[in-house]
Structure 1
Amino acid sequence: MSRPRRDPRAERQSHDVGATGSRPRYDRSQPLPGRAGVPPIVAPARSGMTTQPQPAKPELRIVDEPAFLVFAVVEAPGGRLSRFDRQVLGAARLLADAGDGGAGVVAIASHSVEGLGEAGADRVLLFTAEAMPGTVAKALRQTVDALSPRHVLFAETGDSADLARRLAIALDEPLLANVEHLTSRQAVRAIRNGRAEIAATPPRLISLGEDRIKPYEAAPCEARALALDTAPHNDDPAILSVEFIPGDPASLALSETDFVVSAGNGVSDFAAFRDLATHLRATPGASRVVCDAGLMPRAAQVGASGTVLSADCYFALGISGAPQHLQGIAGCEHVIAVNTDLHAAMIERAGLAIVQDAQLVMPALLQLLRGGER
């Protein structure tokens, strides 16, 4: 009778939460494969050996009456969870499962979001996206007063970090900001410019640094809509209406945009490239070779010697993928690559690859974006 063999490399990879700079980070507080509902990692069997049957697809995890609640505030731009959002939900799941597993995670967002159940949310509470930050903070405080969560977690970035501080002032409670390490018993953050750190029992209000917690990967949760009248209402008579006006992608800095389409040495028709970027509503970027040649401005250079991106999507046209360029897109969640070289580093990095000449792909995409007109 055969025994399943451990795969140490796969186990180590299961703890990987991403890289900070050039150093990988591992979250050892997460359960090992084979425990707490996490499927075991088994190395492939040798030829002639019998293999263990694959584990069945996990059933939906349902918490009918949570012992307590943990709030996770997510931004989810475009209705999709970012990598940072998944880490916040993973941290909330970690705190909720610290006891007997009967607690619930409530995802709080400003609009409908895909994949909240798979990311670990038992309940979902939506706020109005058009409300002012102060009004959202007031509504969130009313929700905290009504449901009394044990913890409220935020991402230490952008609007989430601002909302965390507004809520801390409204509740007159301390906020442990930019937490670098979190377990059910301890939260650690750096002080004195990283020369020292402080550790404390996780308080109610916590904001997390990026790439500090591993996302939730166990059985999908219910993500049931929470019926609670917490719609933010603007009570300032000076404010007549609130509207979100997106910025022009062509004028946004590469460090501030969510979608970048970038040209490399395989692009020669830059008029078509700029036209494609306009139709995709993406910010144009370029490799160092293109900027050195004067074909794109230096501000458009992507890479370790240019701009390091945190975009949701990076579309590389004719870029082979030099190490410095790959460092610049390490924080991008989705990468699409077009290159004639099947073995190019950018093709390997991409989640979706098109092995073709960029000069042929660009007009074909433009035709589709224009509705099939020639």
Structure 2
Amino acid sequence: MRIRRNPRAEREAAAVSGSPRARFDFGRRGSGGRLRRDPRQELATQSVRSGPRLRLDRSQRFLSGNPGANPVDRPEGPNRPEIVLVERPAFLVGVVPDAPGGRLSALDRQTIGAARLLAGRDGAVVVFAPPDCEPCGALGADRLLRLPECRAAHDPDAIVSAIHAAVQGLNPRHVLFPETVDGGDRARRLAVVSGESLFTDAELVSASSLLRAARGRRVEQRCAPARLITVAADAVAEYSGPPREAREIADGFPMANMPGDGGVITSQRIPADPATVPLGLADFVAAVGNGVTDLATFRRLAEALRATPGASRVMCDAGLMPRHSQVGASGTVLTATCYFALGISGAPQHLQGVAGCEHVVAVNTDLHAAMIERAGLAIVQDAQRVMPALLAALAQDNGGAA
């Protein structure tokens, strides 16, 4: 037999005296037994004290998914978040990034994010990185195994042999590669050497299934996560949680059992001439806009920076720059690592062309220009004065050479 409620008695018992308006204090639980929220306490908890304006951090609103749970006690001030430690992982998920020059690309970061999804709470992500790879704890890595340096930096057989030895030593549940020229080649070579199945171009990664498009993107193929996986570009978001340990593994595999170097004795990467590289393939682009009149200085600056020259549509329409150098939706859409914009205000079509650039540096006199807002580093100054200063700084770094 259920006890009947008396709403009037509950309200009288929860009434707060001494207030001109009727106020009630039901505690942390309401009349129905459900946990009650405290919006004022939540707002105070989410406040970020970093400036005169009110800023809220809603990324971690509550301690759990229950909306009635107590808010998270956030540390005051610019304290760094604690590092997540996984002492005894139930299993490992390996990642083999390309890391050209020791720097993780955007797809490498996305691949680590996909591995983080497969690892979940119980697993740990281990990155099989080259010797000069940058730290990757903030990207979601729990362990870091530095592969031995091969005699030839671009010997695929030797690199895959080292990866195969590491996989045999650590026995990860999954091994992920970025779907690139180097990453895809290594994944397919490892699949042949190890005899494992390979799932390529994964566009959706979860702990229960993988998904990719097939037959001209008319159908979707879904299956359980395979041992070897390649991740498509821009398919999985990067890891955005608190930093993780990225503890280095010193004895990941016995070096004595590793096969020797491959047949390549030496290798060297010869960079292409930036002046002749197409904009769509360029890694560093310096573009000029209507705010620059001294094009000779701009060309000397682009040559000194070893950047591929580009231009806005206004400059190309005026005949001051060639049409093939136009950047934007009506020109060339860039995938460069760095884009250096000089005197470009940032029309919507131009911003569409640089949306895929990882880093944007802008020089403009207008503080409120769209390109300044898009840039990760902005210089609010006349480009005519910035270019000679940059040339002088570059000449000083080169030992006074012009």
Short-chain TM bin: 0.7 to 0.9
Q: Aligned pair in 2 of structure 1 residues 34, 211: CA closer, same or farther (>3 Å)?
A: farther
For residue 27 of structure 1, what is the aligned residue in structure 2? none
Structure 2: distance between partners of 1:309 and 1:368: 27
Q: Are 1:103 and 2:126 an aligned pair?
A: no
**CA shift digits 1:72-99 (9 cap, x unpaired):** 12223343322222111111111111xx
The Cα of 1:254 is off from its aligned counterpart by 1.9
**CA shift digits 1:90-129 (9 cap, x unpaired):** 11111111xxx23221112334233401001122223337
Give the structure-2-normalised TM-score.
0.76
Q: Aligned pair in 2 of structure 1 residues 293, 92: CA closer, same or farther (>3 Å)?
A: same
Q: 1:90 aligns with which of 94, 105, 113?
A: 113
Q: What is the Cα-based RMSD across aligned positions, in Å?
A: 2.6
Question: Aligned partner of 1:116: which letter?
Answer: C
The Cα of 1:54 is off from its aligned counterpart by 3.4
- Which has the larger displacement, 247-256 or 160-169? 247-256
For residue 3 of structure 1, what is the aligned residue in structure 2? 41
For residue 163 of structure 2, what is the aligned residue in structure 1? 140
Structure 2: distance between partners of 1:126 and 1:268: 49
Q: Are 1:354 and 2:392 an aligned pair?
A: no
Structure 1: distance between partners of 2:247 and 2:321: 48
Map 1:146-165; keep pairs closer than 5 Å: 146-165=169-188
Q: Aligned pair in 2 of structure 1 residues 233, 313: CA closer, same or farther (>3 Å)?
A: farther
For residue 112 of structure 1, what is the aligned residue in structure 2? 132
Question: Aligned partner of 1:242: which letter?
Answer: S
Q: Aligned pair in 2 of structure 1 residues 78, 317: CA closer, same or farther (>3 Å)?
A: farther
Q: Aligned pair in 2 of structure 1 residues 138, 37: CA closer, same or farther (>3 Å)?
A: farther
For residue 46 of structure 1, what is the aligned residue in structure 2? none
Segments of structure 1 that go 5 or more residues without pairing to the other structure are: 7-31, 41-50
Structure 1: distance between partners of 2:87 and 2:101: 30
Structure number with greater Rg is: 2
Q: 2:353 aligns with which of 325, 328, 337?
A: 328
For residue 301 of structure 1, what is the aligned residue in structure 2? 326
Question: Aligned partner of 2:211: which letter?
Answer: V
Structure 2: distance between partners of 1:189 and 1:78: 30
Q: Aligned pair in 2 of structure 1 residues 36, 93: CA closer, same or farther (>3 Å)?
A: farther
Q: Are 1:262 and 2:287 an aligned pair?
A: yes
Question: Aligned partner of 2:244: which letter?
Answer: C
The Cα of 1:36 is off from its aligned counterpart by 8.5
Question: Aligned partner of 1:235: which letter?
Answer: G
Q: 1:310 aligns with which of 319, 335, 340?
A: 335
Question: Aligned partner of 1:82: which letter?
Answer: S
**CA shift digits 1:156-202 (9 cap, x unpaired):** 12311221222222222222111111111111111111111011111
The Cα of 1:53 is off from its aligned counterpart by 5.9
- Which has the larger displacement, 239-248 or 169-178? 239-248
Percent of pairs with identical residues? 53
For residue 143 of structure 2, what is the aligned residue in structure 1? 123
Q: Aligned pair in 2 of structure 1 residues 233, 269: CA closer, same or farther (>3 Å)?
A: farther
Is the contact between residue 82 and residue 333 of structure 1 (CA under 8 Å) also seen in structure 2? no
Question: Aligned partner of 1:209: which letter?
Answer: A
Question: Aligned partner of 1:201: which letter?
Answer: A
Question: Aligned partner of 1:103: which letter?
Answer: G
Segments of structure 2 that go 5 or more residues without pairing to the other structure are: 1-37, 45-58
For residue 53 of structure 2, what is the aligned residue in structure 1? none
SS of residue in 2 equivalent to 1:189: strand
For residue 211 of structure 1, what is the aligned residue in structure 2? 234
Q: Are 1:186 and 2:224 an aligned pair?
A: no
**CA shift digits 1:245-284 (9 cap, x unpaired):** 3333223222222211111111222221121112222222
Q: Aligned pair in 2 of structure 1 residues 323, 123: CA closer, same or farther (>3 Å)?
A: same
SS of residue in 1 equivalent to 2:372: helix
Q: Aligned pair in 2 of structure 1 residues 298, 126: CA closer, same or farther (>3 Å)?
A: farther
Is the contact between residue 337 and residue 358 of structure 2 (CA under 8 Å) also seen in structure 1? yes
SS of residue in 1 equivalent to 2:240: coil
Q: 2:262 aligns with which of 206, 210, 235?
A: 235
Question: Aligned partner of 1:110: which letter?
Answer: P
- Which has the larger displacement, 178-187 or 130-139? 130-139
Count of residues in Structure 1 that have an aligned counterpart in Structure 2: 333
Is the contact between residue 131 and residue 233 of structure 1 (CA under 8 Å) also seen in structure 2? no
Q: Aligned pair in 2 of structure 1 residues 241, 348: CA closer, same or farther (>3 Å)?
A: same
For residue 339 of structure 1, what is the aligned residue in structure 2? 364
Structure 2: distance between partners of 1:262 and 1:332: 13
**CA shift digits 1:288-340 (9 cap, x unpaired):** 22222332222222111222111111110011111111111111111111111
Is the contact between residue 317 and residue 337 of structure 1 (CA under 8 Å) also seen in structure 2? yes
